[in-house]
Amino acid sequence: MQYPTEPLETYRWGKEYRSRMFKEISQASEGARPLIIGNMNFPKEIITGIGDFNYMAGESYAVSVIREGGAELAQACAEETERRGFARDLCAYARYSWGSMFLNRNPWGGAFPSKPAFVCSFTNCESRTKWFQVMSEHLGVPHLSLDCGFVEEGQGPEYQKHCTDYMKGQFEAMVEQMERITGKRYNWDLFVEGVANRYLSRCYLAEAFQLNGAVPAPMEQKLWLPFLMINEWVPYTAETVAIMKALCDEIKSRIARGIAADPQERIRITHEGMSPYHSLFMFSYLRQRGVAMLGWAANIHHAISSFEPNEDGSFSIDRPILWNKAPRTRAEALEHLAYHEFREDREHVNPIERGHSLTSTLRRWKADGAIFVMDRGCAYYSTGVLDVKRTVQEAGIPTMLYEGNRVDAREWSWPHVQDALDTFLESLGVHSKA
């Protein structure tokens, strides 16, 4: 069956916003609008109280090194980092952003972004503190780090309160540090506004994910990319909220008119892991086979705190979205930000619970199968992936696994991945062309 299709207009807005942010970073200089460098999922809302700023997210910057910078710059960055004694099994994002910094070359043809006011990191993976410590020392600027430290094994509400209180204390301590570094008086009203925007943008993301269960699917892997990026990079801005609302409105219109992301949708598959950014042709290869690549269903964790939790505190995509819970006071904003970080990391460190929540999303999306990635470039996301895969399999959803590296093309073999994909698709009734 051939479905009607048309361009997603909001996609252009999302891509333009992403490009604009990269341009601002590449041209940022010290002054009224300071540059801050940190990891993508750092809770940047706590920074909003110092006023307007540019934020260079290390993960998206590393992707730009290989995408906009091209193969020559990517190779040079990898070799320069290794020449300085850093091992190839470290975080790929860190290695490529370090290489760009060491070489003083950015992906757009200029120098590495100007000296930041400070760098920051959120230590919910094994690499981030060291990643930004190296940057701090090389650039000669302060390093502000937030400790995650959430490990939950059968703990109850008292443990959750302990974790959120611990995080709130760190937020308030960081405010004092930023005031000393920048010389600016912190504005708590701006912070509350930033957290409220973040909450609403994540509510719209949750709604968009729920809507993707329609047949034919209104969204696919590529279309999601700018929206997932801005929701993790700049969810605290009013423009992100506006983009996400426009996306949901457009998805509803596409569903009402039967507009498909993939006009030849035969089966529906998800890709559970970061895209291989150096080899995005993989998704074109699948689309040519009539495979609707629904997206990365596990990305719903970005919106996890906007859903009403199950009675045991776990998450399911079919739960109601709590639209009216946006924080309005300093205390509410601090509580929500800490609570979101707790729930998101609880979801990740418990692979069995993660598997059940992913299964609920795959069922909502009517997925015929799920592709999992054992990512050599990110130990954090690969943690527990085999347990998650097994839980999905036990729920009766077919799965496959391939190994690769989202950033480092030297740890990627398309012939091997292609063979695994073909075998998996044949098991689902999609046969190779003669």
Helix (H) or strand (E) holding 374: strand 369-375
**18 vs 124, which has greater pLDDT?**
18
What local confidence, expressed as pLDDT, does residue 434 receive?
Answer: 42
HSE of 183, CA atoms in CB hemisphere, 13 A: 5
Tell me what the pLDDT averaged over the chain comes to: 91
- Give the tens place of pLDDT for each residue, 9-27: 999 999 999 989 888 887 7
Neighbours of 330 (CB within 10 A): 15
Share of the chain above pLDDT 90, in %: 73
Per the structure block, which two tokens stand in for 221? 């892997």
Q: What integer is the mean pLDDT of 377-385?
A: 83
What local confidence, expressed as pLDDT, does residue 151 receive?
Answer: 63
- Evaluate whether 229 touches 60 at the Cβ level (below 8 Å): yes
The strand ranges marked E within 152-204 are none
Per the structure block, which two tokens stand in for 147? 């400790």
Q: If one looks up domain 10-185 in CATH, what number appears?
A: 3.40.50.11890
Going from N- to C-terminal start, the domains of the chain cover 10-185
User: Any idea which of 47-51, 296-300, 368-372 has the lowest mean pLDDT?
Assistant: 296-300
> Would you say residue 150 has pLDDT above 70?
no
Which of 394, 395, 403 lies closest to 421, judged by CA? 403
- Give the tens place of pLDDT for each residue, 237-255: 999 999 999 999 999 999 9
> Would you say residue 182 has pLDDT above 50?
yes
The C-alpha atoms of residue 158 and residue 164 are separated, in whole angstroms, by: 10
The C-alpha atoms of residue 167 and residue 337 are separated, in whole angstroms, by: 9
Phi-psi region of 402 (alpha: psi -120 to 50; beta: other; left: phi over 0): beta
What local confidence, expressed as pLDDT, does residue 353 receive?
Answer: 83
The C-alpha atoms of residue 214 and residue 50 are separated, in whole angstroms, by: 42
Per the structure block, which two tokens stand in for 2? 């051939």
> Would you say residue 402 has pLDDT above 90?
yes
Q: Is 47 exposed, middle or buried (0-12, 13-18, 19+ CB in 10 A)?
A: buried
> Would you say residue 1 has pLDDT above 70?
yes
- Give the tens place of pLDDT for each residue, 207-225: 999 999 999 999 999 999 9
- Evaluate whether 240 touches 197 at the Cβ level (below 8 Å): yes
Give the single-character DSSP code of 288: T
- Evaluate whether 46 touches 174 at the Cβ level (below 8 Å): yes
Per the structure block, which two tokens stand in for 269? 């598959």
What local confidence, expressed as pLDDT, does residue 300 receive?
Answer: 86
Q: What integer is the mean pLDDT of 126-137?
A: 92
The C-alpha atoms of residue 222 and residue 224 are separated, in whole angstroms, by: 5
- Give the tens place of pLDDT for each residue, 321-337: 999 999 999 999 999 99
> Would you say residue 31 has pLDDT above 60?
no
What local confidence, expressed as pLDDT, does residue 162 receive?
Answer: 87
> Would you say residue 32 has pLDDT above 90?
no
241 residue type, one letter: V
What local confidence, expressed as pLDDT, does residue 206 receive?
Answer: 96
> Would you say residue 108 has pLDDT above 60?
yes
User: What backbone phi and psi angles, to 5 degrees, belong to 381?
Assistant: -75, -20
Phi-psi region of 220 (alpha: psi -120 to 50; beta: other; left: phi over 0): beta
Per the structure block, which two tokens stand in for 384? 């527990």
DSSP 289-308: TTEEEEE-GGGGGGGGGGBP
The strand ranges marked E within 29-141 are 35-38, 54-57, 118-123
Q: What integer is the mean pLDDT of 338-359?
A: 84
The C-alpha atoms of residue 220 and residue 223 are separated, in whole angstroms, by: 5
- Give the tens place of pLDDT for each residue, 60-87: 999 999 999 999 999 999 999 999 999 9
